[in-house]
Structure formats: C-alpha cells, structure tokens
Amino acid sequence: MAEQKRDYYEVLGIEKNADDAAIKKAYRVLAKKYHPDMNPGNAEAEKKFKEASEAYAVLSDPEKRRQYDQYGHAAFDGAGGPGGFGGFDFNSADFTDIFGDIFGDIFGGGRRGGRSNGPMKGANIRSSVRITFEEAVFGVDKEIELTLKDECTSCHGTGAKPGTSPETCSKCGGKGQVVFTQNSFFGTVRNVQTCPDCHGTGKVIKDKCPDCRGTGYIANRKKIQVSIPAGIDNGQCVRIREKGEPGTNGGPRGDLLVEVVVGRHPIFQRQDENIYSTVPMSFAIAALGGDIVIDTVDGRVIYEVKAGTQTDTKVRLKGKGVPSLRNRDIRGDHYVTLVVQVPDKLSHEAKDLLKKFDEETGDTLNAAKNVTSGRAEETTSGKGRGKKKKLW
C-alpha cells in the first residue's frame, strides 16, 4: 500500500492563504536544511528534501496550486512526468532562483545572474604603519611606500599589443557569462556562471602587449601620504579612496586600507579615550602633603597631594586623555594612581630619625614586643636551631 502523502501546506509549514514570498521563504529554509549535499548518506533528509521540493513545485505555480486546492493530490496522480515524485512532473518547475541564490556553489556556479561584464571597482589593498603613543593621541602624517598598478602606457590598459584590439569572447559571445544546466533531484536546473575564458570581461586577447604581458597594468613603487587622525587606536584603519587595485572595464580603483600599529608607552596605558599611569610619591609627601610632578601627554603638571594621602589613591586629571575620533575637541581623562615609594637605602642618621619618628607615631617597631611581653614562652626547636617564641 502506497504511503499517504502529507498536505503540501503542512510540509512547508505555512497557512493556506500564504503568499508567494512566504512559500519561497519556507522552502528556502527546508531546502538548505535537508539538501542531500548537506546531508550525505542521510536517507531521511533526502526524503524530506524531495517532499519539500514537491510541495514547492506545486504551490509556487499559480495554476498547479489552484488545481491542488480544488482536488488535492488527486489532481496530479498519473501524470507520469520524468523526475517527478509519485507521478508529478517537476521539469516544468522553476528552481533557478532558489538554487542560484542558495546552492549555486554546490552545483559549481555562482549566484543567479553571475558576474556582469560592466564596470567593476578594483580590489582593496591593505597595508600598515607604525606610530608612537603620542602620535596616536594627537595625530600625525606618515609616508608609506607601496607597489601599485598603473595603466600600461603602451596598450592604454587594454592588454592587447599596440595596433591590435581585444576580441569578443567566442565562448560567451561577449556577455561574460555562460549558461549551463544540471540534473537534480527535482529535474533540470538552469544556472549562470562567469565565463572561464574571458573571466567575465566578454573580451579575449590574442596578441598580448609585451610591456604588461596582457594584464593592462604596470607595477610601480609609489610613496603615499597617510593622514592619521588624532585619537586613533591600535588596530584601526585609515581608508584612502581609490588607491587600491585598478578597476575592470572602466570601473574605479579600489581603496587603500592602512592599519595603524601603535607602539607601547613606558608609562601610559590607554583604555578607550582615557589614559592610566602610576606615579610614586615619598612618605614625607604622603604624610605631610606637598606638590608632585606628573607626566601627561601634554607635558608635566604639578599636582598638590593632601596630607595623609594613602598609597594606591587614584586622582583624575580631567581632559588630559585621548581626543575623540569624531571630535578632537572632546578628550578623555588621565587617571593617576599614587603609590608611596619606600626607600631601599638609608643612612645611619636617617634610620635614627625614622626610629624617633616611629616612637612618636605609635612605636610600630616595638609593637610585636609589646604584645608578647610577659606572655611569651621560650622553647627550643632542635639542637643548633636557635629559639622560637610561642605566643600564649
């Protein structure tokens, strides 16, 4: 007994009043999900793909859809067409648009319509330039040297030997495209591909120009001025219009994209439009207050430290950060972390003075002795190892 077919609307997951766009959209999703080339060896996926293709072939055709809505599956029983499912002829169904857009690469071709032989913009070129931290903050003009293609002066860009001209491509008839058909699970699919002989130009060169070897272009080393805006960050690019590869068939040149590589700074770190740094201060400044010198990208500034400032205190220098790329008059801030610097070398006089200072401000040097006094028990920890004090 033959398997009962599912309702075509149910197969595509659409309502009976769905328009053409909804039908096509639903089939695109199912075709991409269950196409055999996407599911090699999966019999169940192949079955669902055939079922969806059959439903789309009927519902995308106004006359077939009308017959199906009136008679159901019986409208097509016994049609006996080749390539059909259950007797339905799918060779009359148009799948070119669907598979030209989604599966053109599966069948070996490009998208529907292929590549035209009209004017096309040239490819972009990428390069890089190194700048300092300060140059990234305030902007700078740099010069880079590149190899760029220019129109051949002998053939004027045609690629043909002087005195000759490119000929119309015999394979595509000058259209730049070739049409081919392939058999699929649902019948014959018509597809369009860029002509392999003329590469979409519609012209072929029999006698090549000896200077450019038929390319139409000569490579030259050139120096390009790059204006790098204030506030640019590491990894960002500057676009220079029409300094890339030449276009084809009279199209404009591509663009030059210059990536900016910003060198590390020994003091400053950047995050977005803000700058961060750490500045040491003496114990005397931290305790008594006073002025310290802070380096910024604008030069040195004097900052007044309040008496009793603790280490790791953060201060903000407003407007001393990085300018905004959109408006260089708007700048971020500079955040400074103040760290008390402990001297590693002291004279005898300095040590005596520091001990006297400590006695006057809490006697911290004797704090441990004061805590353990009268409550320490001396114990011996092995022979020759000296003594340890055990609290309580």
> Which pLDDT belongs to residue 113?
42
Considering the domain 269-341 in this protein, what is its CATH number? 2.60.260.20
> Which pLDDT belongs to residue 106?
45
Q: Is CATH 3.50.30.30 the right assignment for the domain spanning 8-93?
A: no
Q: How far apart are CA 164 and CA 170, in angstroms?
A: 17
> Which pLDDT belongs to residue 97?
55
Instruction: Tell me the whole-structure pTM to 2 decimals.
Output: 0.55
Q: How far apart are CA 304 and CA 293, in angstroms?
A: 9
| pLDDT tens readout for residues 307-365 | 999 999 999 999 999 999 888 889 999 999 999 988 888 888 888 888 888 888 777 78
> Which pLDDT belongs to residue 387?
52
> Which pLDDT belongs to residue 121?
85
Q: What residues does each domain of the chain span?
A: 8-93, 125-262, 269-341, 348-391
Per-residue pLDDT of the chain (392 residues; tens, 9 = 90+): 456 788 999 999 999 999 988 998 899 889 888 887 777 778 888 889 889 888 898 998 888 888 888 888 887 765 433 334 444 555 455 555 555 555 444 444 444 444 455 677 888 989 999 999 999 999 999 999 998 888 888 888 888 888 888 888 888 887 878 877 766 555 566 677 788 878 777 888 888 888 888 888 888 898 999 999 999 999 999 999 988 888 876 788 889 999 999 999 999 999 999 999 999 998 889 988 999 999 999 999 999 999 999 999 999 999 999 999 888 889 999 999 999 988 888 888 888 888 888 888 777 787 777 776 655 444 444 455 555 555 44
> Which pLDDT belongs to residue 108?
42
Token duo for residue 72:
């159901």
| pLDDT tens readout for residues 232-276 | 999 999 999 988 888 876 788 889 999 999 999 999 999 999 999
> Which pLDDT belongs to residue 109?
44
Q: Which fold has domain 125-262?
A: Chaperone, DNAj Protein; Chain A (2.10.230)
Cα within 13 Å of Cα(70), Cβ side? 8
Q: Are 109 and 196 in contact (CB under 8 A)?
A: no
Token duo for residue 126:
């990428």
